[in-house]
Every structure is written in C-alpha cells, then in structure tokens.
C-alpha cells in the first residue's frame, strides 16, 4: 500500500509523517500517455518514451520528469542511451530519432523502412540494432548515420532484440520464435525451444543464460545458449512482458495488471511484489540489484531503491534526559532518548530558540545519547533540544522539543575504574574517576539496577576514589555506578553509568569443534570449545539422545579440549554433546547442545547437496585390485544396508548398516583379503534397492 505523506507546517518547518516506504512508488510524469521504455545512463539521469511523441527526461533519479523538445507526434516504442549524451528512440512508421546533447535536440535518421519499430539495442554509441514488424531487422555501425537491413531468416514480427556481446545476440518474435546470432547479425538460427506462449522482451546474464517472459506467467530459460529451453512457472498468472537481470541470481519481470515479480535464485522461484498500480508495466529496467524503474500504461513510471521490498522508516524518538524544564544542568550534559525502531543514526539539535532559528550545536550519532562538548553551552542559559531518527531510506519526524537551563555547577566526572562492563571484579573494588574543575566534593552511588532504584552504597567524598567496604557487594552480581560533582553553585550532572560484574561461577562455554551437524566425524574426535575466563575445569557429556538420559562418554578436564578415547563411539551413530565450566565459586550453565555423526573411515562425503533420488553408481575402477570406490546418492536421511556378495549369492561383507543423512557419498572397499572373481555390491533401503557387478583381478 502506498505510504501516505502528510505535511504539517509547524513553526515554519515541514515534516514527513511517513513511517514506511513502499518497495515500489509512483513517480510524477505529468502525462497519461502510455510510457513504453526507460533508459538510465547513470543513477540520476534517465529518459523515457511513449505514445504520441512522448519524450521525458529526469536529472534526479525520476523524482521529477519533464518533457523534451520534440515537435513530432510519432508514437515511440523504445529508447536507449549508450552514454549520457547520445540517445536513440524508435517507433511508428519506421521512425528512428537521435540526440547528441542529452535530449536537448533531436533529429530524424533514415531507417529505410516504414514498418513499426519496437525495440532498439546499442552495444555502444556506434553499434546498434532495431527490430520491428514484418521481420524488420536493422543494424548500424556508425551511430545511426546509415542502417543496413539484415535477414533474420523469418517473416514474423520481431518483438525484442538483445546482444550479449559484439557477436552474440538474441531476438524474440511472434509465433514463439526465438532467434540467435553468433556473427554480429550476419546470420541467424531459429532455436528449437518448444515454446507455445506469446513472448516478451529478452534478458540474459551471460552468453548462454537467457530468459524470455511470456503469457500465463511462464518464463522460458536456457543455460546452454538456446539449445534447450525450460518453461518455469513464476506462480503469477499474468502476461509477463519484460525481464531484466543485473546479476546471476537476481532478476525482475514486469507485466500486465501492475505485475512485478522477483527472483533471487536465477529464476527457480519468484515472489510477486506489491506495486501501487494495476496498469500494464511494459518495461522494467535496473541499474543494479536494488535500484530500478518500471514503466507502462497511462503515464506510469515506478521506482524502487530497495529491490522492490517495502522498508520501514524510523519511529519518532522519545526524549529522556535532561527532563523537560530541568534546571541546574551542567554545561556538558549528556542528552539521552529512547531507541527508535528501524533507526541507524540520530540527529540532535540544540538551540537558544524554540523554533531552532539559532542552532548552537548539531550532531549525527549512532547511540541514543549525545555528550555536549565543552564550550558549546554557557551558564544560566535556557536551551531547547530535539532529536530526529534516520536510516538509509529516510528520516522520522523531529521529537517533541524539550528545554533545560544550565548552571555554574561542575560538569559531570569521567569514570575511570572499574572499567565499563568489567567482569570478575573483587568484592571490595576501588572506584576512581577524574577530577572536575571547580568541584569541591563528589557523590558516588552503586546500585543493582541501571535506573538506581535500589542503592547498594552511596557516599560523598572529597577524593576522586572510593574503596567500598566488605559486605556491600555479593558474588556473581552486576552492579551499576555513577558519580557527580558539587561546589557552592550547585551539583552537576551525573556521569555516564558504568557497570561491572563481581567474581563468581564462570559463564557457559561456547562449542567450536566438531561443528554442529558435522558429518563424517572420526570415532576418536577432538572435542573443542572456547576458554572461559575464570574456569578451572570443564565437564563434557556425550550421548546418543538429546536429553542425555543415556551417557555414551563423560569426562572432566582442565583444558578446553577433549580427545574421545577409542571404543566409545560407533559408526553411523549421531551423538549429542555439551560442556559446562567450573571454578571454586560453582559451575556454569551447560553450553548449547551440538550434534555430530560418525561415519566409517572408508566412507567419504562427496556433497551435502541433497540429490533428487536414490542411486547406486557403478564402482570405479572396475575391474580393480585391491580397492574400488562405491558411490551412492541418498535423497533424504535413510536406514540403508550396503553389502558385498560373491557369485554364489553369499554375503561376504557388510560395508554399511544404519542411518545416513541425505547427500552423495563414496565408500572405499578394500578387497585385499578376497580372491579374484566376480562380486556384487547391493544397496537396500525401505524405498530403494540396487545391485552393481564388480570384478576383482589380482
């Protein structure tokens, strides 16, 4: 849904009340004529064309479009600018026009035809192609001064042309015709595509990967230069007209009823995006994966800078401190406000007037606070302040305006130690802070909450340090502390709030190896986790069940590693493991639970990509002596049995018998203990069975 914009005039200032920006938004073209093509030689300068001689230009990314000086009335179908100055447009009655001064003036070129021309494609300012009705195919190599008619080998209307490089190009046409050239248009071949839909405008990511949109929401794709096309359903039933890919995976397609669909996996899946129109979108054009335009009927031009994804603007900040109408605030106060949703930065302004005509200080910061530098504020003055939130897509409203009055009291002290976020601090720490000019005393407060609702200790001292007595602090607790300064004029602002944690039981370890979900782990793996500060020992548990009701192995170690002994783990079993840390104060919580699967040493994971179906491949080499590799595919986690049989049908060896995850695997069978002869390998699961013949020659 298109975001509403409400303009309020308050104290002569305008504010944007939008809290989200649509992924696609309409631009003002000042016309209702159909717009059929856009071209942007750079991110700010763009051109568009359409019916009844419509030629438009923008110099600010489409925020404003204006008509170019063209006196004709010919309807235009396509516009292209190889560079910022040189552009071409084509359309009805064989018309081709050109500009060499960025659209200021246009002159008509001799195309040699009166047929309708639909699409122009230029590799550079000199070399270009135009296609149209009645199999019209034109080429120029001198910037349109002369045009040569090429033979496409067909008689149908040609709807789209796109060149990948100087030699390779593609054309789509009526009757589902797709043509290809590899000699710069001298000859064309009709591709065997099996297409049955009306086709749209071609897009590509390389010389072999080509997309052709069509009716009924179908997108045709080839990855072998057109030898074979696959029809991919986009999940959108509308007629798809124009496609555009700026990277291998990310592409967009536009079409009827305001349709824009997007893929981020090379066309295998599409998501239909929300647009503010139901008009046909005849053309889609992207500068990169995120910034693009779509144009179409009734003067429609849409733009996105977010890849079509709706993005939220920040919410309005709420001021916190100094409280509104505060008095006796220091000349270096810390202004704080609540975090705004979706904000990445904030702009804070301080003024001597409530309408902010006289700005004393302005800064952009990322935290939700701003320490006013020394020298910005004067004593006994009333100041007004406000905050605006920002992100890459826009800004919020300004917050409400608050005020405070300064005093000649000392500024806030700067804390020194214990350092902010310190851990394992002893129970009788020495607090220190810097001396403040003109301060005669200091007050320190220590609390169990950042808002200082509960005070653990509070004292006024003449010194810049304070040793807290025993019995005030407890083990394994987090404490907050702050200091202010006073003199005969008053008390200054509190310092910033720092925190520290007293010594206690260690924190939970973080597991490292084997990585969570690891496959093909050996039966004596090295279990590894991070060193935990203050820990003197670690306990590790290994189990075949995630609730650790059954313990496979357990050990207490002093290092942050453990080598599992032989005989503890078995092949084709999945194991769960966790670790905690301990010291003289107690034990930490358990770490996260990770898992790994033990595979035989002879078994190798070739790929974790899950194949489509079961398969047992022919062993290789075959014949062999004495080892051969047996490769197999599993489309899902399965209980399998792989056995070897001799010519009599006797099972001579079981290679695997248990559950194996989906993937592609290889088992190296060593038959050195068997005599020459013919053997059979068999893979069996509940859903699949296959046998391969093997020949052992010694």
20 pLDDT tier (thresholds 50, 70, 90): low
Residue 73 has pLDDT above 80, yes or no: no
Mean pLDDT of 365-393: 92
The dihedral through the CA atoms of 226, 228, 232, 238 has a sign that is: positive
Mean pLDDT of 589-617: 93
Return the pLDDT at 476.
Answer: 83
Return the pLDDT at 192.
Answer: 64
Residue with tokens 């170019």: 68
Mean pLDDT of 202-217: 92
CA distances from 454 to 445, 457, 542, 570 (A): 10, 9, 44, 56
Mean pLDDT of 264-270: 92
Q: In what order do the strands lie in the sheet with 638-645?
A: 651-660, 638-645, 677-684, 689-696
Q: Per residue in 425-481, pLDDT tens?
A: 988 999 999 999 878 999 999 999 999 999 999 999 999 999 999 999 988 899 999
Say which residue, 345 or 228, is predicted with more confidence.
345
Distance CA 641, CA 635 (A): 15
Residue 635 has pLDDT above 90, yes or no: yes
Mean pLDDT of 610-625: 96
Return the pLDDT at 88.
Answer: 97
Return the pLDDT at 48.
Answer: 97
Distance CA 94, CA 136 (A): 9
The dihedral through the CA atoms of 209, 213, 219, 220 has a sign that is: negative
4 pLDDT tier (thresholds 50, 70, 90): very low
Q: Would you identify the CATH topology of the domain 415-502?
A: Immunoglobulin-like (2.60.40)
Residue with tokens 């990855």: 223
Q: What is the DSSP-derived secondary structure letter of residue 144?
A: T
Pairing of the two strands 594-598 and 518-521: parallel
Neighbours of 129 (CB within 10 A): 24
Give me the percent of the chain exceeding a pLDDT of 70: 96
Return the pLDDT at 375.
Answer: 86
Say which CATH architecture domain 511-598 belongs to.
Answer: Sandwich (2.60)
Distance CA 347, CA 412 (A): 23
Mean pLDDT of 617-637: 96
Residue 69 has pLDDT above 50, yes or no: yes
Return the pLDDT at 193.
Answer: 57
Ranges for all domains in the chain classified under CATH 2.130.10.10 = 23-311
Mean pLDDT of 169-193: 90
Residue 307 has pLDDT above 50, yes or no: yes
Buried b (16+ CB within 10 A) or exposed e, 398-418: bbebbbbebbbbbbbbebeeb
- This prediction has a pTM of 0.48
Residue 386 has pLDDT above 70, yes or no: yes
Mean pLDDT of 496-501: 96
Distance CA 258, CA 4 (A): 20
Residue with tokens 């002569």: 12
Ranges for all domains in the chain classified under CATH 2.60.40.10 = 312-406, 415-502, 511-598
CA distances from 207 to 211, 225, 265, 268 (A): 11, 6, 18, 19
Residue 7 has pLDDT above 50, yes or no: no
Return the pLDDT at 180.
Answer: 95
Mean pLDDT of 653-660: 92
Return the pLDDT at 407.
Answer: 77
- Smallest CA-to-CA distance from 506 within 449, 591, 397, 578 is with 591
Give me the percent of the chain exceeding a pLDDT of 90: 77
Ranges for all domains in the chain classified under CATH 2.60.40.1930 = 603-696
195 pLDDT tier (thresholds 50, 70, 90): low
Residue 19 has pLDDT above 80, yes or no: no
Give the contacts of 304 (CB within 8 A, at least 6 positions apart).
Answer: 23, 24, 25, 290, 291, 292, 293
13 pLDDT tier (thresholds 50, 70, 90): very low
Buried b (16+ CB within 10 A) or exposed e, 259-285: bbbbbeebbeebeebebbbebbbbbbb
Within its chain, how far is the Cα of 647 from the centroid? 57
Give the contacts of 59 (CB within 8 A, at least 6 positions apart).
Answer: 44, 45
What CATH class is the domain 312-406? Answer: mainly beta
Distance CA 360, CA 352 (A): 7
Residue 488 has pLDDT above 50, yes or no: yes
Return the pLDDT at 5.
Answer: 30
Q: Is the peptide bond before 418 cis (omega within 30 degrees of 0)?
A: yes
Neighbours of 517 (CB within 10 A): 12
Distance CA 515, CA 527 (A): 10
Residue pair 642/683 in contact (Cβ under 8 Å)? The answer is: yes
Return the pLDDT at 335.
Answer: 97
- Which of the four CATH numbers 2.40.30.170, 1.10.540.10, 3.30.565.10, 2.60.40.1930 does domain 603-696 have? 2.60.40.1930
Mean pLDDT of all residues belonging to the chain? 91
What CATH class is the domain 23-311? Answer: mainly beta
Reading the block at residue 549, the tokens are 């009701």
Residue pair 150/185 in contact (Cβ under 8 Å)? The answer is: yes
């Amino acid at each position: 849904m298109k975001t509403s914009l409400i303009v309020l005039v308050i104290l002569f200032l305008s504010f944007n009340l939008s809290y989200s920006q649509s992924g696609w938004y309409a631009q003002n073209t000042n016309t209702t004529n159909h717009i059929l093509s856009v071209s942007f030689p750079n991110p700010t300068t763009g051109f568009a064309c359409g019916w009844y001689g419509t030629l438009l230009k923008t110099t600010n990314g489409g925020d404003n479009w204006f008509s170019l000086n063209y006196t004709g009335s010919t309807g235009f179908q396509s516009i292209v600018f190889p560079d910022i100055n040189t552009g071409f447009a084509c359309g009805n009655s064989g018309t081709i026009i050109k500009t060499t001064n960025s659209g200021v003036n246009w002159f008509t070129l001799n195309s040699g035809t009166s047929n309708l021309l639909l699409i122009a494609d230029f590799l550079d300012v000199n070399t270009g192609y135009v296609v149209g009705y009645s199999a019209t195919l034109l080429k120029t190599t001198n910037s349109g001064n002369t045009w040569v008619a090429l033979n496409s080998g067909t008689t149908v209307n040609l709807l789209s042309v796109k060149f990948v490089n100087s030699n390779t190009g593609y054309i789509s046409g009526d009757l589902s015709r797709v043509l290809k050239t590899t000699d710069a248009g001298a000859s064309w071949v009709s591709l065997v595509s099996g297409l049955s839909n009306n086709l749209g405008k071609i897009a590509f990511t390389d010389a072999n990967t080509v997309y052709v949109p069509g009716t009924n929401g179908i997108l045709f794709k080839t990855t072998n230069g057109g030898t074979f096309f696959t029809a991919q359903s986009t999940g959108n039933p509308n007629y798809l007209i124009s496609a555009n890919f700026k990277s291998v995976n990310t592409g967009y397609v536009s079409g009827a009823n305001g349709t824009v669909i997007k893929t981020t996996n090379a066309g295998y899946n599409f998501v239909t995006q929300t647009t503010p129109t139901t008009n046909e979108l005849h053309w889609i054009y992207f500068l990169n994966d995120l910034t693009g335009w779509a144009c179409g009927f009734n003067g429609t031009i849409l733009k996105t800078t977010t890849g079509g994804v709706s993005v939220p603007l920040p919410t309005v900040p709420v001021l916190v401190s100094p409280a509104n109408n505060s008095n006796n605030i220091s000349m270096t106060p810390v202004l704080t406000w609540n975090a705004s949703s979706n904000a990445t930065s904030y702009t804070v302004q301080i003024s001597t007037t409530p309408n902010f005509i006289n700005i004393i200080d302005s800064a952009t910061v990322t935290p939700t606070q701003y320490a006013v530098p020394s020298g910005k504020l004067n004593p006994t003055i009333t100041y007004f302040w406000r905050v605006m939130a920002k992100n890459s897509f826009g800004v919020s409203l300004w917050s409400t305006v608050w005020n405070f009055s300064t005093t000649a009291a000392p500024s806030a002290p700067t804390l020194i130690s214990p350092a902010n976020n310190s851990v394992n601090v002893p129970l009788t720490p020495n607090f220190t802070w810097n001396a403040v000019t003109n301060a005669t005393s200091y007050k320190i407060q220590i609390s169990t909450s950042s808002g200082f609702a509960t005070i653990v200790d509070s004292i006024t001292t003449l010194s810049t340090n304070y040793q807290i007595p025993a019995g005030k602090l407890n083990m394994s607790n987090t404490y907050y502390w702050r200091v202010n300064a006073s003199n005969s004029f008053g008390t200054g602002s509190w310092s910033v709030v720092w925190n520290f944690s007293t010594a206690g039981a260690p924190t939970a370890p973080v597991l490292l190896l084997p990585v969570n979900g690891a496959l093909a782990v050996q039966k004596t793996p090295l279990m590894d986790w991070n060193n935990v500060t203050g820990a003197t020992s670690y306990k590790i548990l290994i189990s075949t069940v995630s609730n650790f009701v059954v313990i496979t192995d357990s050990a207490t170690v002093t290092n942050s590693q453990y080598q599992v002994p032989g005989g503890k783990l078995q092949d084709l079993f999945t194991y769960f493991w966790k670790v905690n840390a301990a010291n003289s104060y107690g034990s930490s919580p358990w770490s996260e639970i990770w898992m790994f699967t033990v595979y035989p040493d002879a078994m190798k994971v070739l790929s974790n990509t899950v194949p489509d179906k079961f398969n047992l491949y022919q062993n290789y080499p075959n014949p062999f002596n004495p080892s051969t590799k047996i490769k197999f595919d599993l489309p899902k986690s399965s209980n399998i049995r792989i056995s070897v049989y001799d010519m009599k049908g006797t099972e001579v060896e079981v290679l695997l018998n248990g559950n194996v995850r989906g993937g592609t695997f290889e088992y190296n069978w060593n038959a050195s203990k068997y005599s020459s002869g013919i053997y059979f390998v068999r893979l069996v699961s509940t859903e699949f069975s296959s046998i391969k013949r093997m020949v052992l020659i010694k």
